[in-house]
């Protein structure tokens, strides 16, 4: 069973729309949740959320962590074609040093 | 410039011929990791290392070996590659496991 589940798997929107991407995780020993954006090559870091930092914002992107309901959302407002990418969610646990990624959400923003 | 460098970027080889993918980082990071990325399966962790001479298995370690003799280098070794190891491989490094990781540009391996 997957420890980190992202939804939707794929999304197509028009430029200017607002999108919300979801990431849910198992409860056991949660330490931090990270969001990455992957275009053609390597994933690049967007946000990290922990128990002491449950909301982050950078420009049109923002993210929150709901520790009670065990999920995080990544919000992108006024989308642009340059936002087209795969968005990855990863969770780290107190019980070890591994990092678990979800399968990602593929976002396509059309002109 | 802070970076994680992987080599080669592309490799086509045959079953059973040992290969090594090198990974080097210039940020003095303690944590390094290898992932493979496959369609529909996402990024899966192969091995990780918390520091020099300290390595551990991730989710999909079978068929792979790693070593961490120096802080900056973390090579991935496929002793006897098989077609099911055809994939896109990423090396990453970070100050600690739950800190943001910097990824290399990826190595696309095709095992025939």
Take residue A92 and report the two structure tokens written for it. 């780290």
The alpha carbon of residue A98 is apart from the nearest alpha carbon of chain B, in Å, by 6
Per-residue pLDDT of chain B (112 residues; tens, 9 = 90+): 889 999 999 999 999 999 999 999 999 999 999 999 999 888 999 999 999 999 999 989 999 999 999 999 999 999 999 999 999 999 999 998 778 899 999 999 999 9
Q: Strand runs (DSSP E) across B54-94, as ranges?
A: 54-57, 65-66, 76-78, 87-94
Q: Name which of A31, A34, A41 is nearest B100 (Cβ-Cβ).
A: A34
| Distance set, CA B2 to CA B25, B60, B63, B101 (Å) | 8, 28, 30, 12
How many C-beta atoms surround the C-beta of residue A102 within 10 A?
A: 24
Residue A53: its pLDDT value, please? 66
Of B63, B81, B92, B109, the closest CA to residue B2 belongs to B92
Q: Name which of A34, A42, A103 is nearest B42 (Cβ-Cβ).
A: A103
Given CA atoms A73, A74, A77, A82 in this order, what sign does their dihedral have?
negative
Take residue B2 and report the two structure tokens written for it. 């802070």
Of A47, A53, A59, A57, the closest CA to residue A90 belongs to A47
Task: List the alpha helices (DSSP H) in chain A.
Answer: none
Mean pLDDT of A17-43: 90
Interchain contact, B101 vs A45, CB within 8 Å: yes
pLDDT in tens, A32-90: 899 999 998 899 999 999 877 688 999 999 999 988 888 999 999 999 999 999 999 99
Name the band, by pLDDT with cuts 50, 70 and 90, for residue A27. Answer: low
Nearest residue of chain A to residue B89 (CA atoms): A42
CA contacts within 13 A on the Cβ side of A55: 0
* CA dist., res. B53 & res. B101, Å (int): 20
Interchain contact, A45 vs B100, CB within 8 Å: yes
Q: What percent of chain B lies above the pLDDT cut of 90?
A: 87
Q: Check whether A99 has a pLDDT greater than 90.
A: no
Q: Supply angle C-alpha B87, A89, B24, rounded to 5.
A: 50
Three-class HEC string of B18-37: CEEEEEEECCCCCEEEEEEE
Instruction: Give the phi and the psi of residue A90 in degrees, each rounded to 5.
Output: -135, 145
Q: Check whether A98 has a pLDDT greater than 90.
A: no
**Among all chains, which residue has been given the structure tokens 């045959």?**
B14
Contact A109, A10 (CB under 8 A): no
Take residue B49 and report the two structure tokens written for it. 């290392």
Terminal-residue alpha carbon distance, chain B: 36
């Amino acid at each position: 069973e997957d420890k980190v589940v992202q939804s939707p798997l794929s999304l197509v929107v028009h430029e200017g729309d607002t999108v919300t991407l979801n990431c849910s995780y198992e409860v056991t020993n949660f330490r931090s949740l990270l969001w990455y954006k992957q275009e053609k090559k390597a994933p690049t870091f967007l946000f990290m959320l922990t128990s002491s930092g449950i909301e982050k914002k950078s420009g049109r992107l923002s993210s929150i962590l709901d520790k009670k309901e065990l999920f995080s959302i990544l919000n992108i407002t006024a989308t642009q074609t340059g936002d087209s990418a795969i968005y990855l969610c990863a969770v780290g646990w107190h019980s070890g040093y591994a990092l678990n990624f979800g399968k990602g959400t593929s976002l396509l923003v059309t002109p | 410039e802070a970076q994680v460098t992987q080599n080669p970027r592309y490799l086509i080889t045959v079953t059973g011929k040992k290969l090594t993918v090198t990974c080097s980082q210039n940020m003095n990071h303690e944590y390094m990791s290898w992932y493979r990325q496959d369609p529909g399966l996402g990024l899966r962790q192969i091995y990780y290392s918390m520091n020099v001479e300290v390595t551990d298995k991730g989710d999909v370690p079978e068929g792979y070996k790693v070593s961490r003799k120096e802080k900056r280098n973390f090579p991935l070794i496929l002793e006897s590659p098989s077609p099911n190891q055809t994939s896109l491989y990423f090396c990453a490094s970070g100050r600690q496991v739950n800190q943001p990781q910097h990824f290399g540009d990826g190595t696309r391996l095709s095992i025939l």
